[in-house]
Structure 1
């Protein structure tokens, strides 16, 4: 079984080596590592070309114009030739046995998606994982996703059968593209297995990470992505209505707190956040 490790990269000269190195060091050897350089303006491109010379048989780099992370992810899926794909962000890293452990689960269970545990580097003790290996049905998987706990709203940390991505693309020119997309793969998956091992290490201190520093200009994209997720999940399973409502409320609170933290004390933008409601919930 061939695995494609996919890394979108933009202005990550200080972190990209650790990310690539963690993929190179995998104990599972039937892998390809592909990096799409999304038109970086720092030394990322130069360093990637150096790494290709050093890891010639293990690493492939595609240089593209800057179109955003969604376009980079879509290009990575196009370039991937593996049976399964695994997204790895350019400022994160994985354990040496990550791919081998997840492939073993696929071989034993015929899973189409395997989700590993993760921790947040820079946030002491904050981990997200299940207590033991489980194989929930799709409704339960989506409930985990809506809570954004054991199944996170990110492309990373999931070994996904390549076929599941057919017909699915990340929305270009949109922030929080993961929220708008990952649930579609989970809806299609006939068998998703969650494992407790903490394999993925997410770097929250990176200057490229927006998750913990929302700004007013991107809040609308966040709410739009949440609405897209709500629409698709409720079309698949209308009984998840209460879970969807809680997800939307949680993200409205996150957006409001981010406005306040960025010293945006105007009441009207906050009112607009709480007036926001996906159309499927107003029918």
Structure 2
């Protein structure tokens, strides 16, 4: 069984080798590695070419227009000849048995999606932790229950192996030219899948080492999450096949559209973007004013005191959030300037 590994790459020359080395050294050798250079302006293309020259399994697609990660992944899908596809971001890295462990699950059952756990990796090892994103009981839950639990808090696109035939039949592709493309694609894939499995091992490493104030603050691409959330809402609202999962999808969209995006206007910007936060909240209340009756929302508000306070303050006393984050971010940026 051939596995295609698709790697979208844009200006990652300082850490790209770690990712490519982790793939070239996989214990499962029957792979093709499709490196998609998305118009890098650093030496990423030269690094890719080095691997192409020394390992016949590596291929390079050199895009002439920057179409962001979603577009680069689509290009990788169109060039993939494997039975299964694994996506990995160019700043992350895999354990050497990643593909072997995931591929072993499809020997007897043609699963469409095979998940694994992953670790967040920081500059301080004591901060590293294994992430388990859901409450699925893989030995007991049926496929309907599995999908409902996964949809409430989907795992990243790079934490699973996907059937190439599944992509072909579903005709699902990543939105291009925007960030946060996972927010759109992963829930749709979950809804359409009929066979999902998980390897109960931590096999991927999510790189948090290159996160900094300068990289994560005041970046307007943050608002792309609204574009992909709206695309998802439009998609699932217009096609009846998603109706059986609308409760889960609506709660997921609520969190990524309204909650995470509005609070991000305070957490991710200095000065804070209060006007944008208000617009996001107003837009969502028009889009889905009935979200307070969603059973997942009700359960979380009742069971989590901080979540309840968080939402109440955000919707009714936003000035408190504005004041707190204005002070916090001022202190954060002041400390950065002193370094």
Instruction: Tell me which interval the TM-score lies in, with the shorter structure as reference length.
Output: 0.7 to 0.9
**Partners of 2:120 and 2:177 in 1: how far apart?**
26
- Which deviates more, 8-17 or 186-195? 186-195
Question: Are 1:119 and 1:198, in contact at CA under 8 Å, matched by a contact in 2?
Answer: yes
- Which deviates more, 131-140 or 169-178? 131-140
1:140: which partner in 2? 146
Question: Are 2:85 and 2:161, in contact at CA under 8 Å, matched by a contact in 1?
Answer: yes
The Cα shift of 1:8 comes to: 0.7
**Partners of 1:266 and 1:53 in 2: how far apart?**
48
CA gap of 1:239–1:281, structure 2 versus 1, over 3 A, is: farther
2:33: which partner in 1? 33
Question: Are 1:11 and 1:44, in contact at CA under 8 Å, matched by a contact in 2?
Answer: yes
**Partners of 2:145 and 2:183 in 1: how far apart?**
17
1:255: which partner in 2? 261
The Cα shift of 1:137 comes to: 1.4
SS in 2 for 1:118: strand
TM-score in terms of structure 2 length: 0.73
2:212 is aligned with 1:205: no
CA gap of 1:18–1:133, structure 2 versus 1, over 3 A, is: farther
**Partners of 1:171 and 1:268 in 2: how far apart?**
27
Two-structure CA RMSD over aligned residues (Å): 2.8
**Bigger RCO of structures 1 and 2 (CA < 8 A, at least 6 apart):** 1
2:247 is aligned with 1:246: no
Question: Are 2:33 and 2:59, in contact at CA under 8 Å, matched by a contact in 1?
Answer: yes
SS in 1 for 2:48: helix
**Partners of 1:241 and 1:190 in 2: how far apart?**
17
- Mapping of residues 52-201 of structure 1, within 5 Å: 52-55=52-55, 57-65=56-64, 66-122=66-122, 123-128=127-132, 133-134=138-139, 136-138=142-144, 140-148=146-154, 152=155, 154-166=156-168, 167-201=171-205
Which of the pair has more CA radius of gyration?
2
The Cα shift of 1:279 comes to: 7.8
2:289 is aligned with 1:265: no
The Cα shift of 1:242 comes to: 4.1
Question: Are 1:133 and 1:195, in contact at CA under 8 Å, matched by a contact in 2?
Answer: no
The Cα shift of 1:282 comes to: 6.5
**Partners of 1:125 and 1:95 in 2: how far apart?**
15
The Cα shift of 1:132 comes to: 6.7
**Partners of 1:156 and 1:172 in 2: how far apart?**
17
The Cα shift of 1:127 comes to: 1.5
**Unaligned stretches of 5+ in structure 2?**
291-339
1:227: which partner in 2? 230
CA gap of 1:52–1:6, structure 2 versus 1, over 3 A, is: same
CA gap of 1:101–1:136, structure 2 versus 1, over 3 A, is: farther
Larger helix proportion of the pair: 2
The Cα shift of 1:54 comes to: 1.9
CA gap of 1:188–1:241, structure 2 versus 1, over 3 A, is: closer
SS in 1 for 2:184: coil
